[in-house]
A = this chain, B = another copy of it.
Amino acid sequence: MKSSTTTTIGTNPDRDEPDIKRFDSLLEATVGETPGLEQPQPVDAVALRPNIHDDLTSDIAPCAACPAHELNLCTAVVKKALSEADLRPGASQLTSTTHTVPARRTICHPKEWSEFVPIVCSGWAASSIAFPDGRRQILSFLLSGDLVSATSLLVPMSGCTVESITEVTYRKFKRSDLKPFVFKHPDILDTFSNIWIEKQKQSDQLAFDLGRRTSHERIAGLILNLAERLIKRKMMNGKTMEFPLRQRHIADATGLTPVHAGKVLSEIQRAGLINISDRSLTIIDETELRRMVGWP
């Protein structure tokens, strides 16, 4: 169900893998359906960045290959920890573990107290609020490099449900390690501040979208938004992106019904603005798509 490895920076890293279990029978279609995508290749990664400290990199090598590498979060933390360990061995101990979960799993419960700060390494996940009667609002889709919860560094309970959409691997830092570490380093603190600010801006924009935009605008906006984020992560293949979202996800993200979301989606498709097939989406007429949303 869940595999994991542990990495410790600053002291002897334990390289045991205490919790490896096999994926159970619930296999995920998406994994099988996107075999051609370039996944991070740890070996290449190490080759590409030989400047990183050798004896410590092996476990964080995937970070260097992470498509969100330039987005600064995981990398910034790990690099800083490495350089610090370099100067004063054992000074600042940062333990993190990597976990992999199959699609459609709950990664994080809304009421669950957690001592960890998780960051997505690869795969797609959704952060949402659920109501007892089944209504659900997706607040954001999480891609590689995203903090699972923007406030998780500060507080142990996110209040949101996080579910994997594809297979997801994520890195968990211990909050009791990471929090003092972040507050000790102004540049890292700055990185986190920017994440909070950005998250707040996104939330405000989401409220506007849900409160004041038509279904067409919302869906066009969602697509453009995802495309922009994937470009930053070098996960766009020209105008084409991996698109593992079910209509249920799109509906829950836009405040619509799956049926209606599907209708709008195929309308946009029939109009020749996009093309969806085989779990991947191609933007055909970006100009018109942007015009729909009122973006420049």
Contacts and interface: CB of A to CB of B under 8 A. Distances in A.
Interface in A123-168: 129, 131-133, 135-137, 139, 150-151, 154-155, 159-160
| Interface range for A | 20 to 34
A212 B137 contact: yes
Contacts of A160: 204
Contacts of A150: 200
A208 B131 contact: yes
Contacts of A294: 131-133
Contact of A154 (B151, B193, B203, B212): B193
A85 interface: no
Nearest to A150: B200
Interface of A: 129, 131-133, 135-137, 139, 150-151, 154-155, 159-160, 193, 196-197, 199-201, 203-208, 210-213, 254-255, 294
Q: Which 10 pairs of residues, A with B, have the shortest CB-CB distance?
A: A211-B255, A203-B203, A210-B210, A137-B208, A210-B211, A135-B212, A137-B211, A129-B208, A206-B207, A151-B197
